């Protein structure tokens, strides 16, 4: 049976729903791509071999290591950042680049713990976002359920009353 618009009853067709879902996914992907450019700052990003060469040349005065991020402070107070492997220590990596221990000892190296809201968000988001989505879907679907307790009670009464009378 079709309604006056010529569609089957019960809402839009499956193809319309799939097209809407694809469009929403496309919009979310585009939005994430645009926002990511402004959230992730990688100013003055140089390679780790460049940092090692600058330490060897004596241009770097101090280095701050936070997780896998390395921030090198030069003699002219400029800062450049680089990334290191998470498995290897920074001094081991510099030794692999052929840097002598005398050159490494001339640079002040400080190691900071990762922290702050960004660290906690990146740690907890992969766990919390799926849980929130699943709870949201359950909440949305449960809103559509019709709960008629009197109707259910009347149905159960038909079955329960003869059983109760039979037990007495």
Report pLDDT digits (tens) over 94-144.
888 888 888 888 899 998 877 778 788 888 999 999 999 999 998 888 777
pLDDT value, residue 151: 58
Mean pLDDT of the chain: 81
pLDDT value, residue 85: 84
Give residue 147's pLDDT band: very low, low, confident or very high (50, 70, 90).
low
Distance separating alpha carbons of residues 91 and 70, to the nearest angstrom: 12
Contacts of 9 (CB under 8 A, 6+ apart): 1, 2, 3
Kindly report the pTM of this predicted structure: 0.49
Mode of pairing for the β-strands spanning 108-112 and 60-66: parallel
pLDDT value, residue 21: 93
DSSP of 11-76, one letter per residue?
A: SS-HHHHHHHHHHHHHHHHHHHHHHHHHH---TTB--HHHHHHHHHHT-EEEEEEETTEEEEEETT
Q: Phi and psi for 16 in degrees, rounded to 5?
A: -65, -45
Distance separating alpha carbons of residues 70 and 64, to the nearest angstrom: 6
Could you tell me if 46 and 59 are in contact, meaning their C-beta atoms sit under 8 angstroms apart? no
Distance separating alpha carbons of residues 2 and 10, to the nearest angstrom: 10
Q: Mean pLDDT over residues 136-165, rounded? A: 67
Torsion region of 67: left, alpha or beta (phi above 0 gives left; psi -120 to 50 gives alpha)? left
SS3 label, residue 80: strand
Q: Is the dihedral of CA 40, 43, 49, 54 positive or negative?
A: negative
Q: Mean pLDDT over residues 52-63, rounded? A: 90
Report pLDDT digits (tens) over 81-94.
888 887 888 888 88
């Amino acid at each position: 049976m079709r309604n006056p618009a010529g569609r089957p009853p019960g809402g839009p067709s499956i193809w319309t729903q799939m097209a809407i879902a694809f469009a929403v996914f496309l919009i979310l992907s585009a939005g994430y791509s645009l926002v990511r450019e402004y959230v992730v700052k990688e100013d003055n990003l140089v390679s780790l071999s460049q940092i090692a060469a600058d330490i060897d040349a004596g241009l770097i005065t101090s280095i701050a290591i936070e997780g896998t991020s390395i921030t090198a402070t030069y003699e002219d107070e400029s800062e450049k950042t680089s990334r290191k492997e998470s498995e290897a220590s920074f001094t081991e990596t510099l030794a692999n680049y052929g840097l002598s221990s005398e050159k490494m000892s001339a640079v002040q190296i400080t190691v900071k713990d990762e922290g702050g809201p960004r660290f906690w968000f990146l740690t907890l988001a992969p766990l919390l976002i799926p849980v929130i989505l699943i709870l949201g879907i359950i909440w949305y679907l449960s809103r559509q359920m019709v709960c008629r307790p009197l109707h259910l009670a009347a149905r159960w009464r038909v079955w329960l009353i003869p059983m109760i009378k039979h037990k007495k």
